[in-house]
Amino acid sequence: VSAVVTLVSSVSYSVFGISMAQYLGDLFPVLESYQVPVACLVLIFFFIIASTGAQIFARAINALGILKFIALGLFIIFGFTKVQTGGFEGEPYFINGGVSFLTAVALMSFTCNGATNIINVQAIAENPKKNIPKAFFIASILVAGVYFLLGYVASGVAPYDQVAGQNLGYIAGLVLPGPLAVFFIVGGAMCSLSTALLGGISGMPFMIIGIAEDGWLPKFFTKKFNVVVTLAIISILPIIGGFSLDNIVSMMLVPGMAIGAITNYQAMSMPERFPEEWANSGLKCSPTLYRILMVISIITSLMTSFFSLTSLTLPLAIGTVIATILIFVWTWYRMKKGYVNITSTTDMSEEPAQAK
């Protein structure tokens, strides 16, 4: 089931296209009336970059990363001088109630999933057994710190009614001088979206190819070109359909988190089922601690799925539930017909993947 969700999850890339189009609209007001075509063109552009090869991809990531940290640093430094500590006492807290707060937490979890994309590049990473877990933890800690500082500034420079529903481009205009505000939109917001999008797209074709080789998907998906084109089409469809950012995120989190909870439950027996692999794992912890972490993950995943579902309108919620059921039906069908023949997808290298 998770294998099929991997393909469907490319819907989430539309979020990045829409966000990039909004920021481009902030920079060039003439583009505000053309958000849909701009978002589609942005996604196509990044799919092309991510498909050009590891070296170009790495250079793009490094360049964008440097600009991103400079811009975010300026936003935080200037923002701290504008924060009105204690200046908004009496403003409503949990303005729409505790349930809405938990729904917001569920939506926020989507923005914290970026670190998991590192697994997508296992086929092209150097010493992935060591470097992927290391990169995951370092990135997660850094991102948590940056999000905290950004949230502190964004929530403290102006009253709620002025900042609610606004993107960081608007906040930047309140805390940064004109030229630096433009630099933040380009170097901070857009570069952050760019690195996250490139990180997600770059290794996805390798995963889809492996999934198709195992039989979960048709043989059509064993060709890299077919995979890239399909991912691009799936990503663009929600944009053309006019779905909002929060609806797209919620529709993805419902099946993703539910299936994640099932996967984590099944994974609780990993130490006993694969003792040799467990002993040689790049991440070491006791089986007891491992199971505790799995239980916590299962609970939070189910909560995220539930609150994401409740945030949708009734038609979208029904459609999301039906789509989730169809994912299970498709998986059952492939297994029932004998299409599935599990082979090692962890041993895929860049060469065979690119040769598809």
Question: For position 56, what pLDDT does the model report?
Answer: 61
The list of the chain residues with pLDDT below 70 reads 1-2, 53-61, 87-93, 114-117, 120-124, 344-356
**Distance of alpha carbon 346 from alpha carbon 342, whole angstroms:** 11
DSSP string, 130-187: HHHHHHHHHHHHHHHHHHHHHHHHHHHSS-HHHHTT--HHHHHHHHS-HHHHHHIIII
Question: For position 355, what pLDDT does the model report?
Answer: 43
Residue 275: count other Cβ atoms within 10 Å of its Cβ.
Answer: 10
Question: For position 114, what pLDDT does the model report?
Answer: 66
Question: For position 58, what pLDDT does the model report?
Answer: 64
Helices vs strands, H then E, count in the chain: 17, 0
Question: For the chain, how many structural domains are there in total?
Answer: 1
* Type of residue numbered 104: A
Question: For position 349, what pLDDT does the model report?
Answer: 43
Question: For position 229, what pLDDT does the model report?
Answer: 92
Residue 165: count other Cβ atoms within 10 Å of its Cβ.
Answer: 7
Question: For position 46, what pLDDT does the model report?
Answer: 87
Question: For position 108, what pLDDT does the model report?
Answer: 78
**Distance of alpha carbon 166 from alpha carbon 178, whole angstroms:** 18
CATH number at residue 154: 1.20.1740.10
Q: Which residue has the tokens 């779905």?
A: 243
pLDDT tens digits along 280-305: 877 778 899 999 999 999 999 999 89
Question: For position 121, what pLDDT does the model report?
Answer: 66
The domain in which residue 73 lies consists of 2-355
pLDDT tens digits along 200-241: 787 788 888 888 988 889 999 999 899 999 999 999 999 999
Question: For position 354, what pLDDT does the model report?
Answer: 45
Q: Can you give the pTM of this predicted structure?
A: 0.76
Question: For position 88, what pLDDT does the model report?
Answer: 63
* Type of residue numbered 173: G
